[in-house]
Amino acid sequence: MIIMKTDATPEQVTQVVKEIKKYGLRADVSKGKYRTIIGLVGDENKAPFEHFATFPGVKEATMVEVPYKLISKEYSKFLEDEMEHSIIKVGDIEIGGSEPVFIAGPCAVESHRQLLRIAEEAKKAGAHILRGGIFKPRSSVHSFQGLGSIGWEEAREALAWLREAGERFNLATVTEVRGETQVDLAAEYADILQIGSRNMYNQDLLTKIARTKKPILFKRHFGAGIEEFLSFAEYIAAEGNKDIILCERGILPIGKGKNYTRYTLDLSAVPVIQKETYLPVIVDPSHASGRRDLIFNMCCAAIAAGASGLMIEMHYNPAEALVDAQQAITPDELKEVINTCREIHKLTKPRKNEES
């Protein structure tokens, strides 16, 4: 990381960037309110820090110790005071801002009628963003894979429904991209692109999706440690896309015998990640617990832990859902979750600010 002096000129920044490229590295230039900082992207063994430090306009060149350099607090602290937490804007929605953001919708988009009805209910309940899977990652090839898996025409049609539902009810939209070939199509229609848990490690997909410049909802793999999770988020940031919404969605349960939940919701990951990076963290209690009866409590707990938002599966008739029927909540339950979480947020937010 190269920290420029507050009075460094744009020409001096350009000169440093050129020098970095000579070494086969890429430069991540961030302009703060007071100064510019330049992150080096690539093989760190190739970087002659002492050499860069001698350039005019450079205050210092230092090594960021953590592997997730560009998204770390260590990096952002040199930019400006406000970079404690970044805010990701999607239309007039702010993720990581002063209010929690609620994402709701079906696990899978099944029909025009289903999606429009759920979107209307989500809006009425107070949600900001509509979710809906069109390319579904499934454990069995013999189960419904999402409309997008049928063919490109079906994928485009379902994506158009998502956009239509979003526009009609003034909701932003998010959908998962499962493979590289789906990226451009999904980016045409959705406001936010999701990387599912199973794809957290897919670095080619991360690079490709980052280049769309869309905000990315990035889910933690159920077997990944926090450092590993953040290190893979860095692949998105390395393409110059820092609009990354990190999502805790449960990790593999331990021990023998029944655990009674689908995964184990790692709630301490929320404040830990907030200390490590400036990116917003949200929680998905639906996939973590896999149980409708636990969603309300897990949502409350996630907001109390400091989450910037929640992603919740909702259906007007959960039993009818083709995928994850056992964990979808009803519109009334969603409304109760949102209203209660807003109250909890009011109580816990001041403490969070005091600490940071």
- The tokens describing 297, both together, are 């409590």
Nearer to ligand PEP, 197 or 277 (CB): 197
Query: Which partner, Mn ion, ligand PEP, none, binds residue 28 by CB below 5 to 8 Å per kind?
Result: none
Q: For residue 23, give both structure tokens.
A: 């070494």
CA triplet 255, 266, 329: central angle to 5 degrees?
A: 100
CA 50 to chain centre: 36
Residue-level length of the chain: 356
Compute the CA torsion angle 97, 101, 107, 113 (nearest 10 deg).
-120
**282: enclosing H helix or E strand:** strand 281-283
Instruction: List the interface residues with ligand PEP, window 230-269 (CB under 6 A).
Output: 249
Least gap, CB of 214 to ligand PEP (angstroms): 17
Residue pair 328/318 in contact (Cβ under 8 Å)? The answer is: yes
**At 253, is the secondary structure helix, strand, or coil?**
coil
Given ligand PEP, Mn ion, none, residue 315, with its beta carbon under 5 to 8 Å by kind, binds none
Which residues, 102 to 141, sit near ligand PEP by CB under 6 A?
A: 107, 133, 137
Q: How far apart are CA 331 and CA 200, in angstroms?
A: 30
Could you tell me the smallest distance in angstroms from the CB atom of residue 337 to ligand PEP? 17
The minimum distance between CB 309 and ligand PEP, in angstroms, equals 14
Q: Give the Cα separation of 3 and 349 in Å (integer).
A: 32
Query: Residue 218 or 296: which CB sits closer to ligand PEP?
Result: 218
Which of 28, 176, 243, 324 contacts Mn ion by CB under 5 A? 324
Window of 109-117, 193-201, 234-242, 298-306 that interacts with ligand PEP by CB under 6 A: 193-201
Q: Among residues 106 and 306, whose Cβ is nearest to ligand PEP?
A: 106
- If binding is defined by CB under 6 A, does position 302 make contact with ligand PEP? no
Candidate ranges 6-14, 101-109, 167-175, 208-216; the one touching Mn ion (CB under 5 A) = 101-109
- Beta strands 88-90; 2-4: pairing state: unpaired
- Helix intervals (H) in 238-291: 269-276, 285-289
Q: Which is nearer to ligand PEP, 182 or 197 (CB)?
A: 197
- Measured from each CB, the residue nearest to ligand PEP is 196
Token pair for residue 39? 């992150």
b/e map 184-203, b = 16+ CB within 10 Å: ebbbebbbbbbbbbebbebe
- Which of ligand PEP, Mn ion, none does 137 bind, CB closer than 5 to 8 A by kind? ligand PEP
Q: Per CB under 6 A, does 287 bind ligand PEP?
A: yes
List the one residue from 47, 70, 90, 107 that touches Mn ion (CB under 5 A): 107
Binding site for Mn ion (CB under 5 A): 107, 324
Binding site for ligand PEP (CB under 6 A): 107, 133, 137, 176, 196-198, 219, 249, 284, 287
